[in-house]
Amino acid sequence: MYKLFLPNEFVTSVFEITPEKLKRLGIRGLITDLDNTLIEWNRKDATEEVAKWMRMMQEAGIQIVIASNNSEARVKRFAEPLNLPYVYRAKKPLGQAYKAALKKLQLNKKEVAMIGDQLLTDILGAKRLNLYTFLVRPVAESDGFVTRFNRFFERRLFNVLRRKGITMWEER
């Protein structure tokens, strides 16, 4: 059961994920969470560094869809200036958001990876569809109310994974 919560890779930030790495994995599309994955949960717009990373991906032929549990206004404000499709109020880890994102990408799920900062939403939902997953270290130390609740359970899951000998960011 713990395998549904185990990401394929732990990365410190999205900037460790390169087009070359994705192409080696056969990945042509990304579904990415927004809050605390790409930018802080309380930041409204993309940083120049994030925008540059996204342009690099797009120039390399890697498609990107934002999938966020947040409101349309929040996700739209981030995604539209970058010309990115998005899914809002995604209700992750439920499968409908991932299926909607896959439809926007028009790719086989073996060609798509999920990037997120939470085991209970991003990773669980993606693993249920057998997507390749990257768990990033959250970009902010703080979280919104619902996420704080999820982090409580996430810490327990991290402890289970450690006991099983799985190394994460801090052990690398």
Q: What is the pLDDT of residues 99-150, one digit of tens each?
A: 999 999 999 999 999 999 988 889 999 999 999 999 998 886 655 556 666 6
CATH value at residue 53? 3.40.50.1000
Give phi and psi for 54, each to the nearest 5.
-65, -40
- What's the confidence (pLDDT) of residue 158? 64
> What's this model's pTM, rounded to 2 decimal places?
0.85
Distance CA 69, CA 61 (A): 26
- What's the confidence (pLDDT) of residue 172? 45
Decide: 137 and 169 in contact? Cβ < 8 Å: yes
Domain count across the chain: 1
- What's the confidence (pLDDT) of residue 53? 98
Distance CA 5, CA 124 (A): 5
Write out the residue range of the structural domain in which residue 161 sits.
Answer: 2-171
State the chain's mean pLDDT as an integer.
88
Confidence of residue 40 (pLDDT cuts 50, 70, 90): confident
Distance CA 91, CA 67 (A): 9
